[in-house]
Structure 1
Amino acid sequence: MAPRDLAAFAALLADDTRADFCLALLDGRAWTAGELARHAGVAPSTASEHLGKLAAGGLLAEERQGRHRYVRLADHRVAHLVEELAAHATPPGSAPGPHSLKAAGTAAAMARGRTCYDHLAGRLGITITEAMTERGLLSQDTGFALTGRGAAWFDELGIPLPRTGRRPLVRGCLDWTERRPHLAGVAGAQLCRHALEAGWCVRIGSERAVKVTEAGEQALARLLGIEPGTLR
């Protein structure tokens, strides 16, 4: 890759509006241009211009359904890139405080637990990752690796681990609020899906925040020895 190509790619995120779009799309959903325009507080024409640049640069994928144009992050690799950049963007302790009670509540909920594209993040994701490591289900000795015991654990829970495509089975993703890696990859995505489908977690608000339910506290305590109070 030529230096100018890297600079051009980096420039795609060197804009507040485009960065805001990518952070919003970390929820894993497809958004319309109008929804993103309202989210970022910009005119529809401005949103369309920025979305065109992101799509042309390979960061977004576009879909059309009738008159509606939907966009989403191109794939899990783009989501990983955005999340890691967010983790490195603001050094610990230097982030300004929220400007309102609502913003403070949203920030606190996101820090407690959220989805990062298609896996769990925040204190919830970190707690689960560390509990899996302590129980020998996950190894972090030389990068992330699922142990034989871990594979059996997923199988016992009836959580499939499809081995298709180039996506790694497990991978560490640097958490931008906790500054430690949480579980990503196929295993992280499947565990998140199971947690939502089984009612261990529920989405709250319009952001990516998730909340652990009472059933989820009981399940995680039984399966991973996680004390319920650490998830609240």
Structure 2
Amino acid sequence: MAAHDLAALAALLADETRAAFLLALLDGRAWTAGELARHARVAPSTTSEHLGKLVAGGLLAEERQGRHRYVRLADSGVAHLVEDLAARAEPVRKDAPRSLRAASAGHAMARGRTCYDHLAGRLGITITEAMTGRGLLRQDTGFALTDGGVEWFTALGIALEPTRRRPIARGCLDWTERRPHLAGVAGAALCRHALDAGWCVRIGSERAVKVTGTGEHALRDTLGIEPETIR
């Protein structure tokens, strides 16, 4: 990558409105321009201009269904880039939440959330460390599932489908916990299973997730995680 290209990428991210869009899209869904405009509290015309730049810059992918225009993060690499930058930017500002609602949302996000397509926050870290402690995951030479880890996924009925562009296991720096949580094919598959099996449910309009009673029992039985550590 040439210096010019790196500077162009940095310029795309160096705008608060575009940053707000990218953070919102970390939930892994496709959003309409109108939804993003309301989320960032900007005019539709402003939203259209910013989205055009992000699509042209390769950070967003665009889909059209009838009159509606949907955008999503281009791929998991963009999600990792945004999450990693958020992890490094968070200590810069320590402003107090402006309202009780904002404080509650912040606590919920820190407790458990999705990072694009895998689990993050204290929930994601707790699961990652429990897998490591049980010998299912190695972190000493980068993230890698052990043979026991592959068997653990198989026993839960979770299929791992390798791709050329994405590793089976990858560490993603958590912006609230400052430690890596499990991403990659395995992280995405586990998150999908947790939501489909009712271990977790999404709460509110943000990326926050909450562990259900079913999930508490499942995580204690499969990974030895005590419920009070993830509440």
TM-score (norm 1): 0.98
* 2:194 partner SS: helix
Counterparts of 2:58 and 2:153 in 1: how far apart (Å)? 33
Q: Shift of the alpha carbon at 1:165?
A: 3.3
Q: Which amino acid aligns with 1:42?
A: V
RMSD value over aligned CA atoms?
0.8
Residue 180 of structure 1 aligns with which residue?
179
Residue 27 of structure 2 aligns with which residue?
27
Residue 67 of structure 2 aligns with which residue?
67
Q: Shift of the alpha carbon at 1:90?
A: 2.3
1:57-81 alpha-carbon deviations (Å, 9 max, x no partner): 0000000000000000000000000
Residue 139 of structure 1 aligns with which residue?
138
Residue 221 of structure 2 aligns with which residue?
222
Q: Which amino acid aligns with 2:108?
A: A
1:169-222 alpha-carbon deviations (Å, 9 max, x no partner): 000000000000000000000000000000000000000000000110000000
Residue 109 of structure 2 aligns with which residue?
110
State yes or no: 1:122 paired with 2:160.
no
Residue 158 of structure 2 aligns with which residue?
159
1:154-174 alpha-carbon deviations (Å, 9 max, x no partner): 001000000133111000000
Counterparts of 2:185 and 2:169 in 1: how far apart (Å)? 6
Counterparts of 1:99 and 1:191 in 2: how far apart (Å)? 34
Q: Shift of the alpha carbon at 1:2?
A: 1.9
1:46-100 alpha-carbon deviations (Å, 9 max, x no partner): 00000000000000000000000000000000000000000001228x5212110
* 2:13 partner SS: coil
Q: Which amino acid aligns with 1:37?
A: A
Q: Which amino acid aligns with 1:32?
A: T
* 1:115 partner SS: strand
Give aligned pairs, total: 231
* 2:94 partner SS: coil
1:100-147 alpha-carbon deviations (Å, 9 max, x no partner): 000000000000000000000000000000000000000001110000
Counterparts of 2:128 and 2:163 in 1: how far apart (Å)? 23
Counterparts of 1:231 and 1:104 in 2: how far apart (Å)? 18
Write the mapping of 1:207-218 to structure 2, written as runs, cut at 5 A: 207-218=206-217
Q: Which amino acid aligns with 2:47?
A: A
* 2:165 partner SS: coil
Counterparts of 2:67 and 2:91 in 1: how far apart (Å)? 43
Identical columns (%):
79
Residue 10 of structure 2 aligns with which residue?
10
Counterparts of 2:130 and 2:168 in 1: how far apart (Å)? 18
After the TM superposition, which segments of 4 or more aligned residues of structure 1 sit over 4 Å from their partners? none
Residue 200 of structure 2 aligns with which residue?
201
Residue 78 of structure 2 aligns with which residue?
78
* 1:12 partner SS: helix
Counterparts of 1:142 and 1:163 in 2: how far apart (Å)? 20
1:10-47 alpha-carbon deviations (Å, 9 max, x no partner): 11010000000000000000000011001000000000
Counterparts of 2:215 and 2:144 in 1: how far apart (Å)? 25
Structure 2 runs not aligned, ≥5 long: none
Residue 37 of structure 1 aligns with which residue?
37
